[in-house]
Amino acid sequence: MRHVYVRGMISAIWLIVAAASGVSGKPKDAARYAVLCILFLYSTYTAWKKAKKTARRRKLMMETILYVEDDLSLIDGLEYTLETNGYSVDNARTVKQVLALFNSKS
């Protein structure tokens, strides 16, 4: 997202330069800088839109971890740690449960 902010700052600079050129009596230069400002604003908008779409896609494509653990005291800690780090967690306590979960997910 940082590149979006940089593009926004560049467009603001071009806008200031365009205003300064207009005040100093150079309308052709002011028009050029205004066009550059508009181009950078459009570029900023499209980059922001793309970054927003990518962030939404990442959120939808959460990774799932399947682990096998039969100790109940470890299961809660592992699930909490993995879920707080953004993973979806499936737990199995036996090999039969692993195979059943693996076959149902694929």
pLDDT of residue 91: 87
Spell out the domain ranges in the chain.
2-59, 64-105
Tens-digit pLDDT profile for residues 12-33: 777 787 788 777 777 887 888 7
Residues paired with residue 90 on neighbouring β-strands, in sequence order: 66
User: For residues 39-76, b (16+ Cβ closer than 10 Å) or e, as one string?
Assistant: ebbebbeebbeeeeeeeeeeeeeeeeeeeeeeeeeeee
**What mean pLDDT value characterizes the chain?**
79
Higher pLDDT, 45 or 55: 45
Query: Side-chain half-sphere of 91: how many Cα atoms within 13 Å?
Result: 15
pLDDT of residue 75: 86
Tens-digit pLDDT profile for residues 46-74: 887 887 777 666 655 567 888 888 888 88
